[in-house]
Amino acid sequence: MIQDLLGSIASTQAYRRFAAEKTSRTVLYLFFISLILTVGGSIAMQMRIGPVVDQTFAWLAAEVPTLTFSAGKVTSSEPAAKRLVHPQAPEVAVMIDTARTEPVTLQLMQESKVLAYLTNNALCIDQGGKLEIYDLSKAALERPMVVDAKFFRDAAGALKKVVYPLAIVTVFVFAAGWTAFAGLIYTLVAMLLQSIGGGALTFGALFQIAIHAQTTALLARIVMSFLPFVVPLSGLLTIIITSVYLWLAVKANAAAAAETSAI
């Protein structure tokens, strides 16, 4: 697979081999390049999101008073209302007022500039101007649940052990599916290029070429995911890079076919 990777990037002649290889090898290469994309994307995600997640849970552990859920009610170690604002995202704020029993209105939440409001018996969330109310009095808990600093530390650990691996699997499946779908689209582009530049490759052969032709663009996407800024028109850049490789691949195969006919 490493040889195919290098050939996809640096050798137009390698595309003559890709056009004639077994479909199973192309599928294997699809999984290989998707794995590289997943690993690179996951590392970039960890570098970008990991510190934010850690900081958020540390903030929650330090700022949220100890909350006890029992018999459909919430009590707090700090009876007075407390407004919490995320240190890095001031628009993310919540209000904890476990002494309040009367209903919370959307207007009150907007005036308080909070996205969530926890009362003695309800959790209210502002979902884009629509108030969602979760009645905690209907929650059936076998025993009291305590939310404290340890709870948030454990939650952070669970996130890393469960959610991150699940995210990696999800990214891999999406990467493989998207690369295969994009391969079909690029195959149509290759057919158009072949009608212009000559050649007689079948749809299947062009699809195998299209999978390999995406390699450089996918690697470029990985590199861009580590940059501290957004690359303008990155999607268009990906299309251009892949199309150039398709054109070179079609020309290489057309030249090979012409040499064979001459012989």
Q: In this predicted structure, what is the pLDDT of residue 202?
A: 86
- Tens of pLDDT, residues 116-172: 999 888 888 988 888 888 888 777 666 788 888 888 888 888 777 777 788 788 888
Q: Domain residue spans in the chain?
A: 2-51+159-262, 67-147
According to DSSP, residue 97 is labeled -
Which residues have C-beta within 8 Å of that of residue 220, sequence separation ≥ 6?
Answer: 237, 238, 241
Helix boundaries (H) for 159-214 = 164-197, 203-213
Taken in order 19, 4, 169, 43, the sign of the CA dihedral is negative
Instruction: Give the separation between CA 117 and CA 114, rounded to whole angstroms.
Output: 7
- Tens of pLDDT, residues 184-203: 999 998 888 888 877 778 88
Instruction: Give the separation between CA 91 and CA 184, rounded to whole angstroms.
Output: 42
The side-by-side arrangement of strands in the sheet containing 67-70 is 73-76, 67-70, 145-147
Q: In this predicted structure, what is the pLDDT of residue 156?
A: 82
- Tens of pLDDT, residues 27-61: 999 999 999 888 887 788 777 777 777 888 888 88
Task: Give the pTM.
Answer: 0.66
